[in-house]
Amino acid sequence: MPRADRAADDPVELTVGEGAAGRLDVFLARHLPDLSRRRTRELIDRGLVRINGRRARKGGAVQPGDVVRIDAAAEPVRLAPQPALPVPVIYADAAIVVVDKPGGLPSEARRAADRDTVANFLVAQYPEVEQASPNALEAGLVHRLDPGTSGVLVAARTPEAFRELRRQFRDHEVAKEYLALVEGDLARAGRVDLPIAHVPRHPRRMSVCADPRRARRLRARPAVTTYRPLERFGAATLAIIETRTGVRHQIRVHLAAIGHPVVGDSLYGTGTAQSFTASRPLLHARQLRFRHPARQGSASTFTVEAPLPADMQQALRWLRAHAAIRR
């Protein structure tokens, strides 16, 4: 196991142990769970990661005995606060804040100059979130939703809450429930248990890896999605989706893999014409259930919900008015 010596604002040093050789970004993401793989790649690109004193290269590898140093604190980052963004707050206490992310609004900022993200809203309303997470750009957010996805999004207001909630997400202890309007007639419930990987040479796309050899070669991540129809309209179906894993684009990729992509998904959909307008993938994070990081015993079980957004309500009204419902 690697060793990490870490004070509040000090650089991070990791010593690569036996059996931990491999890609640098994978090593860092595995042993520093507070940092996402995207964030570690950004630090490498900015020259803030060194291996045995030498600046690490993108795509670099580590070997047992290497000392990896991260100078993440070398470049302070501050986000511009934007209190007027249309982000409803569902719940807030001293440890966490839960918002209802609108579809089309990114969760995190990618760089300090970014605007119009949930993170910009959070630092305006709850300035302490900048200190809750190691990366100020995250603004305390313990998970993400795709920009087009609406619904429940949770941020921590203290470092202790951030660490505990990140652990719960990492260990697949958080129950996540979504509503999705999907193409076609989804007639029965089912489960997709297929790992997901980035598509080579197409950085925006993900794909399922049914072939174990391909999964190993592409370093696919395990992903499990369950689904069941709620209302069937023939040309489209309103479905309840549940998952505990959180691979990028997981629900969209899994639903496309079974022939029922999310309506409005320009990346994975079939382009089947609908008589109503869908300017985004009609996917909504309706509910999260987790253990509250500042409560004990039975009181720690915490469930939060976000109402169905207006664009999905409008699509359902059209479908109910123009299609024969088959339950």
- 132: Cβ contacts below 8 Å, ≥ 6 apart: 140, 155, 156, 157, 158, 159, 161, 162
Comparison of pLDDT for 42 and 318, the residue scoring more: 318
Distance CA 178, CA 283 (A): 7
Instruction: Give the model's pLDDT for residue 9.
Output: 45
What are the CA-CA distances from residue 19 to residues 40, 51, 65, 216 (Å)? Answer: 21, 17, 11, 17
- Catalytic residue numbers read 146
SS3 at position 74: helix
Comparison of pLDDT for 285 and 201, the residue scoring more: 285
Average pLDDT (32-36) is 67
pLDDT band (50, 70, 90) for residue 11: confident
What share of the chain in percent tops pLDDT 90? Answer: 61
Average pLDDT (220-235) is 95
Instruction: Give the model's pLDDT for residue 76.
Output: 55
Structure pTM? 0.78
Angle at 289 between CA 136 and CA 268, to 5 degrees: 75
Instruction: Give the model's pLDDT for residue 136.
Output: 80
Average pLDDT (39-48) is 77
For the ranges 81-90, 120-129, 150-159, 317-326, the lowest mean pLDDT is seen at 317-326
Comparison of pLDDT for 94 and 74, the residue scoring more: 94
Burial letters 124-139, b for 16+ CB under 10 A, else e = bbbeebbebbbbbbbb
Query: Hunting for tokens 């059209």 — which residue is that?
Result: 318
State residue 298 phi and psi, 5-degree precision: -65, -25
Quote the tokens at residue 301.
Answer: 């079980």
Residues pairing with 232 in the sheet: 237, 326
Edge-to-edge order in the sheet of strand 3-5: 3-5, 12-15, 67-70, 49-51, 54-55
For the ranges 38-52, 143-157, 175-189, the lowest mean pLDDT is seen at 38-52
* 146 and 104 Cβ atoms separated by less than 8 Å: no
SS3 at position 45: helix
Average pLDDT (201-227) is 93
